[in-house]
Amino acid sequence: MEQAIFGGGCFWCTEAVFQNLKGVTKVVSGYMGGHKLNPSYEDICKGDTGHAEIIRIEFNPEEISFDDLLLVFFKTHDPTTLNMQGNDVGNQYRSVVFYENQEQKLATENMIDQLEKDMVFERPIVTEVTPVSIFYSAEDYHQDYYNNNANKAYCVHVIQPKLHKFIREFREKLR
């Protein structure tokens, strides 16, 4: 197994997407990239810890590649907005790939270059590409959030449209 760590706005949204991919065995919501030790969700929401809301994805590279995960990541959030996704604003919602090794770093940089060359987005990609740091698991109530709260307003109005878009575009990669 390998892991990938992505931040693409609210971790409830990104978690819901990646849980549905073949080859993904586990998705954990958490925080990474900041300076405060053992941050809580309340700390993160203040926006001054430097942490991003992220997901840590465990995957089988024989079933899904890191490049495939990157493509899903880039196409299911807006990597051109700095420190925000939709109505979620703050550096905790930034677009970021935390790489574990030089292969992941290079793959991410190559993906960004290709997406920009192909003009997939109207504006430049601002996704940070940075080495992994200490991972802090989010509180239990954040884990598997969409599956446990599908009828809540945020899930219906924000997560479900992202899931529908994801399913249309990546049907062949679904479980």
What pLDDT is stored for residue 30 in this prediction? 97
**How far, rounded to the nearest angstrom, does the alpha carbon of residue 102 sit from its chain's CA centroid?**
19
Catalytic residues: 10
Domain positions in the chain are: 2-173
Closest by CA to 169, choosing from 6, 17, 13, is 17
Does the pLDDT of residue 152 top 90, yes or no?
A: yes
Give the pTM: 0.95
Distance of CA 158 to the CA centre of its chain: 15
**pLDDT tens for residues 80-107?**
999 999 888 999 999 999 999 999 999 9
Closest among 100, 129, 136 to 115, alpha carbons compared: 129
pLDDT at position 69: 98
Spatial separation of the C-alpha atoms in residues 112 and 147, rounded to whole Å: 31
Domain at 2-173, CATH class: alpha beta
pLDDT digits (tens, 9 = 90+) for 16-54: 999 999 999 999 999 999 999 999 999 999 989 999 999
Dist. CA 97–CA 72, nearest whole Å: 13
What share of the chain in percent tops pLDDT 90? 97
**Given this model, what pLDDT does residue 157 score?**
93
